[in-house]
């Protein structure tokens, strides 16, 4: 197999020989298919703009055209964000925050309008000059993560220019058939629009693992490679290609034996998938008889059918954020009640944990009035926002309690950090129960109430919290980030994001111990719950429920049915005593390689 790193001379496109190209693995998976090249038309808009003068009487018309383009772009971004929220995890839609900041930036808009009127130039030229100044400034930042945000600015700028000209953007949401997309770059909005039915994979010349397009690809489970230098000029529409998103390899014009090798890999994956589907009725029970509940994380009421398909034993996390975002008003009690009732009735007696609002007020700007925080991650979000604006939470509480009449609903509060917050939440809950009773409305008066343990302070006072709630759910994504002060999407520090870090395991262990002393149970609803590598440690520490993407349930069920609680507890003890995250993880990996090698191979493929 011929290999190229992109620096060699261009191959003769008429000679279709196999060539291997290396890039940066951005999203895992394997795809074999036909290439579709995407033209870079939106990026050339800036280059093609010619500056010509206008008459003073044309100024108002140009400014009006510019504002119309801004309004249309804002509507398009709202539609994109809604699309991502309803088809992926709701937090993935946060990548469009930067887009909204641009179209709502009054200083930027005033600068463009001022340029039109003072320089007497067309709106496209004034906007292009202004935006190129901003893009150049961001592109010059030494931090690669921040530098990647220039792509967001370019994405919005190109969209605004396209709307100014009345141009159509590439139709990536309706591909002519199964295709591997090859482009110099895919913007976040390009990626969000990809035809999920027909896109097999994509490879781009620009981008990194922390680019928003790469983040979206991982959520959409689309194999992807980025950083493929000078790749587009080596490929033609209709070429055959293999994309290996695990290794960051693109194989152009693969030979028969290469295709057969990758088809065998895909065949093993499909075989295991079908086997796991046949096991959905089996209990998730260890060989020595300990039952671990496997629940599903659900993004919206339209995803309920996956729970039965993959054999989940309930909903461990029902996210409600999608009900609140990108709308001029807050959702009403009746609107929420109908959705939660749908969840309750669909579960056929299985439990569903509904998490109360877990957003910052900046995401509810249309309903609450816009404001900006320097660090929303540590700001007014989740129950902090709800305690400041209790009517939002009380409406949601009423809807959840009323829906509890139709099934086994549990209510969970996110981001609790201290007893004072929990006491205020429980007081509000008592007020809501009293109001419902006085109004003669049916509701579940004995509904289980839980809190998420995702802030280190909550884990440290778990003993106190446990005395006032019915269960804990550990949100490992935030717990790891808050404990280790690591942004996992920042490539410069992402290697420090380690769920088996001794500090993180200590907090999980303390939480479980406190729960057991107070007679309540503990679940985990973060990403590690669906990652085979961490399961022996988690259940060995005493976690009773694992809530994950429905697609992961089969793998974890197979794993649990092949290990013993006795072994898991020994592994957890060793992991707690380990000095490093790597050492702790190694104990689990060594054990799993003996017990369920097929599950590990699928995870590491």
Q: Which residues are catalytic?
A: 212, 525
**Which H or E run contains 200?**
strand 199-204
Q: Which residue has the tokens 């937090």?
A: 91
Of 109, 29, 114, which is closest to residue 73 (Cα–Cα)? 109
Distances (CA, A) of 167 to 37, 162, 190, 203: 19, 5, 15, 25
- C-beta separation of 397 from 411 below 8 A: yes
Distances (CA, A) of 66 to 49, 75, 134, 262, 492: 15, 14, 18, 50, 38
User: Which residues 6+ apart lie within 8 Å of 207 measured at CB?
Assistant: 24, 26, 148, 151, 185, 186, 213, 214, 226, 227
Show contacts of 110-118: CB within 8 Å, 24+ apart.
112/66, 113/63, 113/66, 116/54, 116/59, 116/62, 116/63, 116/66, 117/59, 117/63
- C-beta separation of 477 from 505 below 8 A: no
Q: Which residue has the tokens 């802030």?
A: 455
HSE of 105 in the Cβ direction (CA atoms, 13 Å)?
Answer: 18
DSSP SS3 for 16:
coil
Distance CA 273, CA 553 (A): 11
Of 262, 396, 417, which is closest to residue 339 (Cα–Cα)? 396
User: Which residues 6+ apart lie within 8 Å of 160 measured at CB?
Assistant: 69, 70, 73, 103, 127
- C-beta separation of 301 from 339 below 8 A: yes
Q: Which residue has the tokens 């394997």?
A: 30
Burial call 385-413: b when 16+ CB within 10 Å, e when fewer: bbbebbebbbbbbbbbbbbbebbbbbbbb
Q: What is the secondary structure of 364-390 as a DSSP string?
A: GHHHH-----S-GGGSSBTHHHHHHSH
- C-beta separation of 278 from 257 below 8 A: no
Q: What is the CB neighbour count within 10 angstroms for residue 14?
A: 6
Distance CA 523, CA 179 (A): 40
Of 452, 378, 447, which is closest to residue 412 (Cα–Cα)? 452
Q: What is the CB neighbour count within 10 angstroms for residue 276?
A: 21
């Amino acid at each position: 197999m011929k290999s190229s790193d992109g620096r060699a001379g261009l191959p003769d496109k008429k000679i279709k020989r196999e060539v291997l190209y290396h890039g940066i693995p951005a999203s895992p998976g394997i795809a074999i298919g036909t290439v579709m090249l995407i033209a870079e038309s939106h990026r050339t808009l800036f280059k093609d703009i010619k500056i010509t003068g206008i008459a003073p009487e044309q100024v108002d018309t140009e400014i009006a055209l510019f504002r119309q383009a801004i309004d249309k772009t804002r509507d398009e971004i709202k539609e994109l964000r809604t699309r991502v929220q309803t088809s992926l995890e709701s937090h993935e839609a946060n990548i469009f925050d930067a887009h909204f900041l641009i179209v709502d930036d009054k200083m930027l808009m005033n600068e463009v309008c001022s340029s039109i009127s003072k320089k007497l130039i067309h709106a496209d030229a004034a906007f292009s000059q202004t935006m190129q100044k901003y893009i150049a400034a961001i592109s010059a930042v030494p931090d690669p993560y921040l530098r990647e945000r220039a792509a967001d600015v370019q994405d919005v700028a190109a969209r605004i220019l396209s709307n100014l000209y009345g141009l159509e953007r590439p139709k990536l949401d309706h591909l002519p058939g199964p295709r591997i997309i090859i482009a110099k770059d895919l913007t976040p909005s390009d990626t969000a629009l990809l035809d999920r039915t027909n896109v097999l994979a994509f490879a781009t010349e620009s981008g990194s693992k922390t680019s928003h397009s790469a983040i979206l690809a991982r959520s959409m489970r689309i194999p992807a490679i980025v950083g493929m230098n000078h790749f587009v000029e080596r490929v033609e529409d209709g070429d055959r290609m293999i994309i290996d998103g695990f290794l960051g390899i693109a194989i152009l014009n693969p030979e028969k034996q290469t295709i057969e090798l990758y088809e065998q890999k895909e065949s093993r994956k499909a075989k295991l998938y079908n086997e796991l589907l046949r096991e959905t009725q089996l209990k998730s029970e260890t060989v020595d008889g300990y039952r671990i509940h496997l629940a599903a994380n659900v993004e919206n009421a339209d995803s309920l059918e996956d729970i039965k398909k993959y054999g989940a034993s309930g909903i461990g996390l029902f996210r409600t954020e999608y009900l609140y975002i990108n709308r001029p008003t807050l959702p009403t009690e009746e609107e929420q009640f109908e959705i939660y009732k749908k969840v309750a009735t669909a579960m056929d007696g299985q439990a569903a944990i509904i998490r109360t609002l877990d957003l910052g007020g900046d995401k509810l700007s249309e309903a609450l009035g816009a404001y900006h925080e320097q660090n929303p991650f540590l700001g007014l979000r989740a129950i902090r926002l709800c305690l400041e604006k209790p009517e939002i939470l009380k409406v949601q509480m009423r809807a959840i309690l009323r829906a509890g009449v139709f099934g086994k609903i549990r209510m969970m509060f996110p981001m609790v950090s201290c007893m004072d917050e929990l006491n205020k939440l429980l007081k509000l809950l008592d007020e809501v129960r009293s109001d419902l009773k006085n109004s003669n409305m049916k509701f579940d008066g004995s509904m289980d109430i839980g809190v998420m343990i995702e802030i280190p302070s909550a884990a440290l006072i778990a003993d106190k919290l446990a005395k006032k709630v019915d269960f804990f759910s550990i949100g490992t994504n935030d717990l790891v980030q808050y404990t280790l002060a690591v942004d996992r999407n920042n490539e410069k520090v992402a290697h420090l994001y380690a769920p088996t870090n001794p500090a993180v395991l200590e907090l999980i262990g303390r939480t479980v111990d406190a729960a057991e002393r107070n007679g309540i149970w503990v679940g985990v609803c973060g990403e590690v719950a669906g990652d085979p590598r961490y399961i022996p440690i988690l259940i060995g520490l005493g976690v009773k429920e694992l809530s994950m993407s429905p697609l992961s349930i089969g793998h974890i069920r197979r794993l649990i049915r092949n290990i013993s609680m006795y072994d898991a507890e020994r592994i957890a003890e060793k992991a707690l005593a380990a000095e490093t995250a790597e050492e702790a993880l190694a104990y689990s990996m060594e054990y799993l390689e003996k017990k369920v090698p097929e599950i590990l191979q699928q995870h590491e493929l």
